[in-house]
Structure 1
Amino acid sequence: MTVHAMPPAALVGDEAGDSQRMRRGRIKMLVVFAICAAPVVASYFMYYVVRPSGAGAAYSTLIQPSAPLPAVEARTLDGQPVALRSLRGQWLLVVVGDGSCDPACEKRLFLQRQLREMTGRERDRIDKLWLVTDDAMPGAALRAALAANPATQVLRLPRATVAAWLKPAAGHALEDHVYLVDPMGEWMMRAPADPDPSKLKRDLERLLRASAGWDQPGR
């Protein structure tokens, strides 16, 4: 019979210690993640589940799971590169359309501005973004209106890239909606097509109130 040497006790102890340290490391990582995510999860929970009595159901559609800003580079109208994820840090009201911007597109851009202003003192937490999906140049009058303080950020991004991130409701086109992106860069809400501004404002105000504990104006 062959007698195999037993591993030294110290070696067995080291292996057990390594295993315990790995488990503790994983637990710490999960705790850190939970602490970071808790305020955002809590704010959405308060908005969509624990609503004040009589507040009624949300008018807009909650996106589950949310979709992060793509790690792509957009372009300004004069061709300057802008990393799309650099827009994180503010709530974003997003409109999508081609550069020719028909009357329906102009109506959505007006709604976008109106919504921000209707939130009153909370408006500094919101930025306006128009994603232009082709090479057409918006008209001079429209560009001037969008440049008025507070300016709407206008960025070119291929339609296919936008469509891989934002999704319209069934039976609608990508351009039919206003989309809401939270300060962490997650697309999390879609307004109905041709929305009622007062109902959409109510959704936005609830979100701003629910997130007040973790979101501050400015990037």
Structure 2
Amino acid sequence: MSGFNSLAPGGSDVCAQPPEPPAEPLSFSVHSLPTLALPPVRQGRLKMLVVLLVCAAPVIASYVSYYVIRPQGRSNHGELIEPQRPLPSAAALPLTDLDGRAVDPASLLGQWLFVTVAGGACDAKCERQLYLQRQLREAIGKDKARIDRVWLVDDDVPPRPELLAAMQDAAVLRVPRAALAAWLAPAPGQPLEAHFYIVDPLGNWMMRTSAPSEPALIKRDLERLMRGSAGWDKPGR
């Protein structure tokens, strides 16, 4: 037979390749992705609500103290007015300054008002009342900036210059007595001049107290009102 023998001596195939070592099996390592720690939406809203409540707590407490508890229960010296009487409009309460210029009652809003009512002649009792009004406001200390003194002159008599000099940091306004009586009222059997009238920053007449009696007790009432409204009332309009 023509050709050549493809087998080498020993019977091996010269064309055969040496065997390759067996391939190692491939292995794959799968690493998990980090989990993002995002709070649930409801949990986030709850935390926000808690923060808002904590921030609002002092304001809420002051409103409850003033409008619900009504400072220190019933241990006040002055008489609380229930229901409170809001400041009338300019048509119902025509205020003017001593030069006759119209003053809008709304311009008095935003401050506590410590009000005295007396005619322009102002006798000795009236003078004492105006003096006590000034001293009580000064005695409040740093909170006095939240209180305005007001003298409502309910007749056409010009106040004496020395009285006006003592009222330079106060509002002196004229008002017809009949119109004033539709807002402020004395205790039964007493004249308007017998009291101090306390009006809150929203314009509500809320307390009256006998003007010449127990200044220390009147001061205590004012201090309690300042504490009870500290969370929502600030100095200035």
Does residue 128 (structure 1) correspond to residue 149 (structure 2)? The answer is yes
Count of equivalent residues: 176
Structure 2: distance between partners of 1:205 and 1:189: 14
Describe the shift of the 1:63–1:41 C-alpha distance in structure 2 as closer, same or farther (beyond 3 A): farther
User: Which residue in 2 is equivalent to 1:20?
Assistant: none
Q: How do 1:28-177 and structure 2 match up within 5 A?
A: 40=63, 42-48=65-71, 51=73, 57-72=75-90, 73-147=94-168, 151-177=169-195
Q: How do 1:190-201 and structure 2 match up within 5 A?
A: 190-201=208-219
What is the CA deviation profile of residues 112-149 of structure 1, one whole-angstrom value per residue up to 9, with x for unaligned ones? Answer: 111110000100000000000011100111111211xx
Structure 2: distance between partners of 1:37 and 1:75: 37
**Does structure 2 retain, via aligned residues, the 8 Å contact 1:61–1:192?**
no
AA paired with 2:223?
E
CA shift at 1:193, angstroms? 4.4
**Does structure 1 retain, via aligned residues, the 8 Å contact 2:87–2:204?**
yes
Q: Which runs of 4+ in 1 moved over 6 A?
A: none
User: Which residue in 2 is equivalent to 1:15?
Assistant: none
Identity of aligned residues (%): 51
CA shift at 1:44, angstroms? 3.6
More displaced, 37-46 or 115-124? 37-46
* TM-score, normalised relative to structure 2: 0.70
**Does structure 2 retain, via aligned residues, the 8 Å contact 1:67–1:186?**
yes
User: Which residue in 1 is equivalent to 2:227?
Assistant: 209
User: Unpaired segments of 5 or more residues in structure 2?
Assistant: 1-58
> Considering only CA atoms, is the larger Rg found in Structure 1 or Structure 2?
2
SS of 1:146's equivalent in the other structure is coil
Structure 1: distance between partners of 2:60 and 2:198: 19
Q: Which has the higher helix share?
A: 1
What is the CA deviation profile of residues 41-91 of structure 1, one whole-angstrom value per residue up to 9, with x for unaligned ones? Answer: 54243344x55xxxx811000000000111123110011211112101000
Structure 2: distance between partners of 1:171 and 1:193: 15
Structure 2: distance between partners of 1:71 and 1:38: 31
CA shift at 1:38, angstroms? 8.9
